[in-house]
């Protein structure tokens, strides 16, 4: 009976630690999807603006604002603290890049492990 009890406690401990440490990686996977969606939104916004060059369209801030709001809304749903400066929209000659940087923390009794994540979504621009 004691062996069974020890096994149950050990299994519960492993599952608890795995869940606590694994949750930031779940957030990472979900934010990776959000960055890809945000890159699609950014590309759509760039394509929908007919006046001006690509640089002028980015300078208006419409694309950056839309992408940042979308990313922060997704981060809030996941319980992440994603500051506005953690989201970047970079326009290269033939490429739109959306980057997100954030930190997550796994808290165990008496210990906290910090994780830093960086996710990038790329879309090719067709002129």
Query: Residues 80, 31: contact at Cβ < 8 Å?
Result: yes
pLDDT value of residue 64:
85
User: CB under 8 Å to 2, separation ≥6 — which residues?
Assistant: none
Query: Residues 118, 31: contact at Cβ < 8 Å?
Result: no
Average pLDDT for the chain? 86
Rounded distance between C-alpha atoms, residue 11 and residue 5, angstroms: 10
Q: Tell me the two tokens of residue 17.
A: 């630690």
Of 95, 97, 98, 76, the residue nearest 87 (C-alpha) = 98
Encode pLDDT of 97-127 as tens digits. 999 999 988 888 888 889 899 999 999 887 6
Encode pLDDT of 29-76 as tens digits. 999 999 999 999 888 888 765 555 655 555 557 788 888 889 999 999
Q: Whole-prediction pTM value? A: 0.77
Encode pLDDT of 87-96 as tens digits. 999 888 888 8
């Amino acid at each position: 009976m004691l062996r069974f009890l020890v096994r149950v406690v050990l299994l519960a401990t492993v599952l608890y630690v795995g869940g606590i440490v694994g949750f930031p990686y779940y957030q990472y996977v979900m934010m990776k999807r959000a960055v890809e969606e945000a890159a699609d939104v950014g590309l759509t916004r760039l394509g929908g603006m007919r006046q001006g060059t690509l640089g002028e369209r980015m300078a208006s801030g419409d694309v950056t604002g839309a992408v940042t709001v979308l990313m922060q809304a997704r981060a809030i749903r996941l319980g992440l603290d994603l500051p506005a400066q953690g989201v970047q929209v970079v326009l290269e000659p033939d490429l739109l890049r959306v980057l997100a940087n954030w930190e997550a923390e796994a808290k165990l009794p008496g210990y906290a492990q910090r994780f830093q994540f960086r996710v990038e979504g790329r879309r090719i621009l067709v002129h």
